[in-house]
Amino acid sequence: MPVPTHTFTPPFNIIRCSHAVLDVVDLSKSRAFYETTVGLHVEDSDDKTVYLRGSEEHQHHSLVLRKAPAAACNRLGFKVGNDGDLDKAATFFSENGIPYAFADQPFQGRTLQFTDPAGFQLELYASMDKRPHLLRRYDLYKGCHPQRLDHFNIFAPEVQGTIDFYARLGFRLTEYGEEDGPNGRIAAAWMHRKGNVHDLAITNGRGPRLHHFAYWVPTAMNVLHLCDVMASSGYLKNIERGPGRHGISNAFFLYVRDPDGHRLELYTSDYFTGDHDHEPLRWSLKDPRRQTLWGAPAPRSWFEEGSPFTGQEVRDPLFVADVTIAD
């Protein structure tokens, strides 16, 4: 599969990943998990919706929990450079047959919602209500001290097509996992806009589904502390994978599941990728250091389970990648 060439002049300017909107069944239980156990700050709430953010974030929210009959990912949000980029995006979507609509969203300025060619439901905005910086409010810190939303990872049934679409939007490939041999296919790709390893990771699998969303924490000790917190607060079984260090991204990580099964990663220690001539790093799917630098493979649930997008049919992938799975 071809590695995409970076587009320096995309049709509109996406700055970074911004927020996830999750449908949850028990809103109070989900709020308690993210606020008290993980340590996000609640900014606004009512009996249907809770808005949360990390300590470093000036924006009103980076996670929205919506009470719903079934658990799902409702939307993933990205911030664009300015309001004119929303009009440029609408023009691009219209010219390429991509469904879109402007929508009113609480605490956000003009918001453009669209469904990409693979069925992922996204929204773009240029402005959001601001809130006081809490970085130095150590008296408010809880859980693992999450600072900011870092990235999304999605299950895509057509990996190459999804990579190519986001490359058109200016996303730059940093690392990828590929089958060996002359006709090797890319099974996973890490793409960014903000100069770290990724804003969006694309993983081969049944989709469209959200694999996980991730918050950046200050140090590896924050990740280890969350293990202690979850083990002593009734969430031991919600620890799915880790702690460990990825080969891809070099990040120290922990994957946990929330009360509805949505997967959250706590993440730190990746690296800078802002230089325009940064060459993407290829990983063989057979390299045991790819999943975890120390060689430990991921569990089967990590490859098979994810959050569907509200109202979207989930499709089988075009191919099944031969990856190492923990027994």
CATH of domain 148-308: 3.10.180.10
What is the rounded distance in angstroms from the CA atom of residue 152 to the CA atom of residue 207? Answer: 14
The residues spanned by each domain of the chain are: 14-131, 148-308
Structure tokens at 154: 């999605």
Topology match between the domains 14-131 and 148-308: yes
pLDDT in tens, the chain (327 residues): 689 888 999 999 999 999 999 999 999 999 999 999 999 999 999 999 999 999 999 999 999 999 999 999 999 999 999 999 999 999 999 999 999 999 999 999 999 999 999 999 999 999 999 999 999 999 999 999 999 999 999 999 999 999 999 999 999 999 999 999 988 999 999 999 999 999 999 999 999 999 999 999 999 999 999 999 999 999 999 999 999 999 999 999 999 999 999 999 999 999 999 898 889 999 999 998 998 999 899 999 999 999 999 999 999 999 998 888 987
Please give the Cα distance from 202 to 176 (Å, whole number): 9
What residues pair up with 72 in beta bridges, in sequence order? Answer: 23
Task: Give the H or E element holding residue 102.
Answer: strand 100-103
pTM of the model: 0.97
Report the distance separating Cα 257 and Cα 248, nearest Å. Answer: 21
Contacts (Cβ under 8 Å, ≥6 apart) of 288? 295, 297, 324
**DSSP H or E segment with residue 154:** strand 148-156
Strand segments (E) across the chain? 14-24, 41-45, 49-53, 63-67, 72-80, 100-103, 111-115, 121-125, 148-156, 172-178, 186-192, 200-204, 209-216, 239-245, 252-257, 263-268, 281-284, 307-308
**Hey, what are 126's tokens?**
């240029």
Residue type present at position 82: N
Answer CATH for 14-131 from 3.40.50.920, 2.60.40.10, 3.10.180.10, 3.40.50.10860: 3.10.180.10
Residue 240 · residue 298 · CB < 8 Å: no
